[in-house]
Amino acid sequence: MLNLIRNEVTKLLLKKKLILIIGLLIIFITLLSYGQQYTYEKNIDRFENLSGAGTYDWKSLASQRLNDLEKRLDSPYIPADGIASIEIEIKQLRYFIDNDINPITPSAAKFSVDFVEQGISLLIPLIIVILAADLVSGEFSTGTIKVLLTRAVPRWKILLSKLIALLLMTTLVVLIMGLLATLISYLFFGQWGFDEPVATGFRLIDGQLNADAVILVSRFEYTILIYSLTWYVAIVIAALTLLISIIVDNTVSAIGVLMAALIGGQFLQFFLSDWPIVKFFFVTNLDLTRYLTGSYQPIPGMSLNFSIITLGIWGLLALLLGFQIFSRKDVLV
Amino acid sequence: MIKKIWPLILIVSVALILVFVTGLIIAIAITNGGDKNPETLPNPAETIETEPVSAANSILVLGDSIGFGVGDEPDKGIGKRYAALIDPDNTITVANLSVSGAISADLAALVAAPENAAFISAADLVIISIGGNDLSRLQYQDALSLDVTFQETLNRYQESLEATISRIRALNPEAQIALIGLYNPYPDQDPQKSQKLFEWNYQTQLIAAADNKTAYIPTDEAFKYHLQTYLATDQFHPSSIGYQVIAETLDRILNGID
């Protein structure tokens, strides 16, 4: 079995798709980091021109805000549910002032999180599609499937080895994505920013954002959490891609079907967000990371648990169906 | 080549899968709130009972950060500055129940709360600065939805402000009320947004006109050409000079020029 998996990993590596993916990532990340750095400098410039105060002094602004918040906390008239979020903001501001870090300065850690947050619903799924779309269909179109199936191993074992190889490679791609995003953006920003505190743990109660359970974690821990969610999305997409790759017998159609599903799904979410059934579609649930920042509830009734379960069901069904079809498929090439 | 890196690939991937699964579980646990329950948080509004000092002349300031005095020197603000203007001997008490970031609905809830009734019935002058946060939340709306959301927000603001004033009147029929108008802190804003501000202030004036002892204090006209000096370093709240200007306008409108 391990040999079969190694065989599949070797095939994935030899196709040079990993190099293509790394190349794409390097181009995107470089452009985006440059863009962010440019916007940041422009904002500072604009602020300085607007205020006419010469240099932009974030520290006095932050201290003023900190003082204001502390006074608010002393006031007995603030509502109970506001206290927790004020305390969180005070802790964050203290950190920035104590460590002399401007809160809006872009850092490598912040960029690597922003990058997957933006990419999780389209760019990252497409990268996984590039990786996985020809896993089975490629074997059919080139005819190599015959060589594979004439070995003395049951068909499900062959598909399982492909699945595990895909799982390993998907995991590696997520790692590569994180490393590239961090390293390249560090070249632009010159700051790691991994131990700055981040607020997370927002909940939705009756459609209202609730900040009672908000906690502070370091940006390093936060990055791990965000990449874990990204990884989950990536393996679900990998499972779906595998299914499509089994059903259609050439790679181009496989990529086409998946792109149509991903882009069409975004449209669906945009036009039919009042229609409750849309929330059971997998594309609608891809944006897992937004639940951690608490900024998001696309359709009433959706939560992190809901999205994870829905995606899980889609992934599992795709695998079940994939194994069924693969073991019964006629091989006529 | 691949045979050499294969163990590395295997080990790294498996280790990462473990990390990611743990991260996923932690993320789910965090989002579900861990073991913290909203009911267990203490409610400070009930624990602190402060009796207002009853004096011959007392001022109550209600509202948002401008009522609170954000941007001013510590322990000042409209109320204190106005008190200093009309009474240099310092016999006037100024109570400030303003909450930074409050919107009109928060203010309506604050005056409806029984623990604040004593302050309201003891006041001779109630200064209210509210609405700025209602309006500034619309700032990032796009042009298409702006009109609709603006109208909704304005309606809610009117309802809350009317409720606030009728509650104050129910507790204290004699007090003078002063509503501080909004000014535009953004000098180069497009005219469409300035119009919204005018409409907002106009509705506030209508509400002020409905009550005999409620005054509307305009600020936009005074601030318009002096944003550099009247605004604090955050370019949003008034500076010390700005607060002094508001207090003087208040004095001129309520007491006239001697």
- What per-residue confidence (pLDDT) applies to B17? 92
pLDDT band at A273 (very low <50, low <70, confident <90, very high): low
B199 inside domain: yes
CA distance B35 to A124: 33
Cβ(B227)–Cβ(B181) under 8 Å?
no
Residue partners of B176: CB distance under 8 A and separation at least 6: B124, B125, B126, B213, B214, B215, B254
β-strand partners of B178: B127, B215
Give A303's contacts in chain B (Cβ within 8 Å). Answer: 31
Question: So what's the pLDDT on residue A233?
Answer: 94
The reply to whether B60 and B179 lie within a common domain is yes
**Residue B199 clears pLDDT 50, i.e. is over it:** yes
Residues of B in contact with A57 (CB under 8 A): 233
Instruction: Locate the chain A residue with the closest alpha carbon to B16.
Output: A171
**B165 and B83 fall within a common domain:** yes
Burial class for B139, CB neighbours closer than 10 Å (0-12, 13-18, 19+): exposed
Assess contact for B64 and B133: CB atoms under 8 A. Answer: yes
> Does one domain contain both B22 and B63?
no
Q: Residue A47 has which token pair?
A: 């602020």
Report how far apart, in Å, the C-alpha atoms of B149 and of each of A148, A170, B190, B202, B205 are: 62, 44, 18, 18, 21
Is B221 part of any domain?
yes
Asked if A51's CB is within 8 angstroms of B233's CB, the reply is yes
pLDDT at A156 over 60: yes
Out of A152-161, A268-277, B49-58, B62-71, which region has the weakest mean confidence (pLDDT)? B49-58
- Considering only CB atoms, A227 lies closest to which of B23, B30, B71, namely B23
Looking at the fold, whether B68 and B120 belong to one and the same domain comes out as yes
What is the least distance, in Å, from the CA of A4 to any CA of chain B? 12
Q: What is the mean pLDDT of residues A218-240?
A: 92
Give A290-305 as a DSSP string. Answer: HHHHT---SSTT--HH
pLDDT in tens, A167-222: 999 999 999 999 999 999 999 888 888 888 877 766 666 555 566 667 778 888 88
Residue B47 lies in a domain: no
- Residue B191 scores a pLDDT above 60: yes
Asked if B27 and A304 count as a contact pair (C-beta separation under 8 A), the reply is: yes
Mean pLDDT of B165-193: 86
Q: How far apart are CA A329 and CA A122, in angstroms?
A: 31
Provide the residue range defining the domain that includes B16: 2-38
Closest CA to A33 of A210, A232, A188: A188
pLDDT recorded at residue B143: 67
- Average pLDDT score over residue span B164-178: 90
Q: What is the 3-state secondary structure (H, E, C) of chain B?
A: CHHHHHHHHHHHHHHHHHHHHHHHHHHHHHHCCCCCCHHHCCCHHHHCCCCCCCCCCEEEEEECHHHHCCCCCCCCCHHHHHHHHHCCCCCCEEEECCCCCCCHHHHHHHHHCHHHHHHHHHCCEEEEECCHHHHHCCCCCCHHHHHHHHHHHHHHHHHHHHHHHHHHHHHCCCCEEEEECCCCCCCCCCHHHHHHHHHHHHHHHHHHHCCCCEEEECCHHHHHCCHHHHECCCCCCECHHHHHHHHHHHHHHHHCCC
Burial environment of residue B18 by CB neighbours within 10 A (0 to 12, 13 to 18, 19 or more): exposed
* Inter-chain CB proximity B31 and A305 less than 8 Å: yes
Our CA-based measurement puts residue A213 at a distance from the nearest CA of chain B, in whole angstroms, of 5
A176 in reach of chain B (CB within 8 A):
no
pLDDT of residue A149 exceeding 90, the answer is no
Q: Is residue B160 a contact partner of residue B109, using CB atoms and an 8 Å limit?
A: no
Any B CB within 8 A of A328 CB? no
A218-248 burial code (b ≥16 CB/10 A, e <16): bbebbbbbbbbbbbbbbbbbbbbbbbbbbbb
Which ranges of A190-303 does DSSP label H, i.e. alpha helix? 219-247, 251-271, 289-293
Tell me the Cα Rg of chain B: 25
Using the Cβ of A228 and the Cβ atoms of chain B, whether some distance falls under 8 Å is answered with yes
Instruction: Give the closest residue to A248 by CA, choosing from A166, A125, A129.
Output: A129
Parse chain A into domains and list their residue ranges: 2-45+106-328, 57-104
Q: Report yes or no: B19 at the A interface, CB cutoff 8 Å.
A: yes
CATH of the domain at B223: 3.40.50.1110
Q: Which of residues 229 through 258 in chain B touch A, CB cutoff 8 A?
A: 232-235
Verify whether the Cβ–Cβ distance A225 to B31 is below 8 Å. no
What is the radius of gyration, based on Cα positions, of chain A?
Answer: 24
Nearest to A75 among B41, B71, B99 (CB): B99
The total number of structural domains in chain B stands at 2
The whole-number average pLDDT for the span A37-65 is 75
Evaluate if residue B148 carries a pLDDT over 60: yes
What pLDDT band is residue B227 in, cutting at 50, 70 and 90?
Answer: confident
CB atoms within 10 A of CB A119: 20
- Please give the structure tokens belonging to residue A233: 């999305």
Single-letter code of the amino acid located at A140: F
Question: Which residues does chain A have within 8 Å of residue B41's beta carbon, measured at their own beta carbons?
Answer: 80-81, 83-84, 212
Give the model's pLDDT for residue A208: 56
If you measure CA to CA, which chain A residue comes closest to B188?
Answer: A50
Percent of the residues in chain A that have a pLDDT greater than 70, as a whole number? 88
User: Greater confidence, A48 or A236?
Assistant: A236
Q: Note whether A90 contacts B: Cβ–Cβ < 8 A.
A: no
Per-residue pLDDT reduced to its tens digit, B45-102: 443 444 443 344 889 999 998 988 888 887 788 998 998 888 878 788 888 888 888 8
Q: If you count residue pairs, one on A and one on B, with CB atoms under 8 Å apart, how many are there?
A: 138
> Cβ separation of B24 and A175 shorter than 8 Å?
no
Predicted confidence band of residue A55 (pLDDT cuts 50, 70, 90): low
Q: Are residues B151 and B233 in the same domain?
A: yes
Pair of tokens at residue B146: 């702006």
Q: Is A225 helix (H, G, I), strand (E, B) or coil?
A: helix
Beta strands A215-218 and A197-200: pairing type? antiparallel
SS3 annotation, A38-104 = HHHHHHHHHHHHHHCCCCCCHHHHHHHHHHHHHHHHHCCCCCHHHHHHHHHHHHHHHHHHHCCCCCC
Chain A residues lying within 8 Å of B47, measured CB to CB: 76
| pLDDT of A53 above 70 | no
Query: Residues B82, B16: one domain?
Result: no
CB-based contact A175:A90 (threshold 8 Å): no
Q: Answer yes or no: are the C-beta atoms of B230 and B247 closer than 8 Å.
A: no
Structure tokens at B149: 């959301």
Give the residue-averaged pLDDT of B144-158: 85
Q: Are residues B34 and B108 in the same domain?
A: no
Window 35-74 of B: residues touching A by CB (8 A cutoff) are 36-38, 41-45, 47-48, 50, 65, 68, 70-71
Quick one: what percent of chain B has pLDDT higher than 90?
26
Do B116 and B63 fall within a single domain? yes
Predicted confidence at residue A211, as pLDDT, reads 62
ipTM of predicted complex = 0.79
CB B118 within 8 A of CB B150: no
Per-residue pLDDT tens digits for A283-315: 888 888 888 776 555 566 677 888 899 999 999
The whole-number pLDDT of residue A299 equals 64
Residues of B in contact with A78 (CB under 8 A): 44, 99
Name chain A contacts of B9, Cβ cutoff 8 Å: 9, 168, 172
- What's the pLDDT at A216? 78
Kindly tell me if the per-residue pLDDT of A40 is higher than 90: no
- What are the structure tokens assigned to A153, written together? 């191993």
Q: Tell me how crowded residue B118 is: count the other CB atoms within 10 A of its CB.
A: 16
Pairwise CA distance, residues A47 & A51, whole Å: 6
Of A76, A84, A303, the CB nearest to B45: A76
Per residue in A100-125, pLDDT tens? 777 777 888 889 988 988 888 889 99
Rounded average pLDDT over B128-135: 90
Interface of A with B in 47-76 (CB under 8 A): 50-53, 57, 60-61, 64, 68-69, 71-72, 75-76
Q: pTM of the predicted model, to two decimals?
A: 0.65
Residue B56 to residues B16, B93, B121, Cα–Cα distance (Å):
72, 9, 13
For the ranges A40-44, A230-234, B104-108, the lowest mean pLDDT is seen at A40-44
For B6-53, what is each residue's pLDDT tens digit?
888 888 999 999 999 999 998 888 877 654 444 444 444 443 444 443
Q: Please tell me which residue of chain B has the smallest CA distance to A307.
A: B28
User: If you average pLDDT over residues B233-257, what whole number do you get?
Assistant: 88
Are both B130 and B220 inside the same structural domain?
yes
Q: Which of A19-23, A33-37, A75-79 has the lowest mean pLDDT?
A: A75-79
Report pLDDT for A52: 59
* The pLDDT of residue A60: 77
Residue A210 DSSP SS3: strand
